[in-house]
Amino acid sequence: MEDESLVSTILSGDKRSIARAISAIESADPAATRMLKAIFPRTGRAVIVGITGAPGAGKSTLVDGLASYYRSHVLKVGIIAVDPSSPFTGGAILGDRIRMQNMATDPGIFIRSMAARGHLGGLARATTDAAAVLDAAGYDRIIIETVGVGQDEIDIVKTADVTVVVLVPGMGDDIQAIKAGLMEIADLFVINKADRDGVLRTEREIESLLSISERPDGWVPKIIKTIATEKSGIELLAEAVDEYVSYLRSGEKSPDGRRALVAEHRIVEMLRDRLFQLALEKGTSQKELRDLARSVADRSRDPYSIVDEIVCRLGFGPVV
């Protein structure tokens, strides 16, 4: 990767350069870090929208609708579709390929799938870095869409400026727990498939969960009803996104502004990854780790003492 020319072609918005840069990020190419350092001052302009929710909630259709809406307002749109758990090129990825073909003809849309495999340093970090590339390349809205409802998805959408949680009416059983898990991160709720029975009940459940929690930033998450397959409610959603972003920016100078929190989380994750890489270079090796693991498996050693020992070798002295 020729660093300087790539940086300038990214900044000029060249799609092939963006794709190459994201591939370099995915493979943890050291050149990717140099590129990211160079483009970083040119980021921060785009609005990053994270969209997550339970399986089958219709996220992809919603994202496509939102992208079309932005395009009709002459905004450039980047879409990052994240599939954290899929080790195969399964359903979601295939679906994205079909979407990619449909959307690739529009020069104002860039769409990319990212899966868990081969992402040294974590999918959330790779996703954030990919969004930074699109941001620097002049995309106005970047939508990060995740399949699933686990911690990984939460980590990913937390890095966005606005987090949208998509629900559908009439989900049973564990859904209450999932909703609780998502409550904390949702800036906006979408009840999609709002022509189905149970919309009011779902809305009331969200409201009752909202009523027992209070956000540090004082924002009360909106609830938007959509029927994504009919493009109904998309405009309301787009307006609610803008409204929250305005609210957010009015408080951006405060020390606990959202972007500062996101940045702190990001520094911590990058630091953790780097320290572990250093431990593998200077304190132990993959091969030794494998041998030590075998001694744990047959109970001749315990993992706690092994960690003490490696940390000592890195020069951090004896541990309590």
Q: Measured between alpha carbons, how far apart are the two ends of the chain, in Å?
A: 46
Binding a copy of itself by CB under 8 A: which of 36, 46, 49, 143?
36
**Does residue 1 interact with a copy of itself by CB under 8 A?**
no
**Does residue 40 interact with a copy of itself by CB under 8 A?**
yes
Q: How far is the CB of 107 from a copy of itself (least distance, A)?
A: 27
* Among 206, 298, 187, residue whose Cα is nearest residue 248: 187
**Does residue 58 interact with a copy of itself by CB under 8 A?**
yes
For residues 102 and 295, which CB has a smaller minimum distance to a copy of itself in the complex? 295
For residues 177 and 200, which CB has a smaller minimum distance to a copy of itself in the complex? 177
Binding a copy of itself by CB under 8 A: which of 118, 216, 255, 318?
255
Size of the site for a copy of itself (CB under 8 A): 91
**Does residue 56 interact with a copy of itself by CB under 8 A?**
yes
The token pair that represents 77 in the structure block = 């749109």
- Residues 208-227 interacting with a copy of itself (rule: CB under 8 A): 209, 212-213
For residues 8 and 213, which CB has a smaller minimum distance to a copy of itself in the complex? 213
Q: How far is the CB of 105 from a copy of itself (least distance, A)?
A: 26
Separation of CA 93 from chain center: 16
Q: How far is the CB of 271 from a copy of itself (least distance, A)?
A: 5
**Does residue 74 interact with a copy of itself by CB under 8 A?**
no
Candidates 1-9, 15-23, 55-63, 106-114; binding stretch for a copy of itself (CB under 8 A)? 55-63
For residues 236 and 245, which CB has a smaller minimum distance to a copy of itself in the complex? 245
Q: How far is the CB of 82 from a copy of itself (least distance, A)?
A: 11
Binding a copy of itself by CB under 8 A: which of 19, 98, 104, 177?
177
Residue 144 · residue 51 · CB < 8 Å:
yes
For residues 174 and 195, which CB has a smaller minimum distance to a copy of itself in the complex? 174
**Does residue 37 interact with a copy of itself by CB under 8 A?**
yes
Binding a copy of itself by CB under 8 A: which of 48, 66, 92, 194?
92
Binding a copy of itself by CB under 8 A: which of 176, 196, 200, 285?
176
HEC sequence for the chain: CCHHHHHHHHHCCCHHHHHHHHHHHHCCCHHHHHHHHHHHHHCCCCEEEEEEECCCCCHHHHHHHHHHHHHHCCCCEEEEEEECCCCCCCHHHHHHHHHHHHHCCCCCEEEEEEECCCCCCCHHHHHHHHHHHHHHCCCCEEEEEECECCHHHHHHHHCCCEEEEEECCCCCCCHHHHHHHHHCCCCEEEECCCCCCCHHHHHHHHHHHHHCCCCCCCCCCEEEECEHHHCECHHHHHHHHHHHHHHHHHCCCCCCCHHHHHHHHHHHHHHHHHHHHHHHHHCCCHHHHHHHHHHHHCCCCCHHHHHHHHHHHHHHCCCC
**Does residue 118 interact with a copy of itself by CB under 8 A?**
no
Distance between CA 99 and CA 265 in Å, rounded?
32
Per-residue contact string for residues 127-166; x = within reach of a copy of itself by CB under 8 A:
--------------------xxxxxxxx------------
Q: How far is the CB of 133 from a copy of itself (least distance, A)?
A: 13
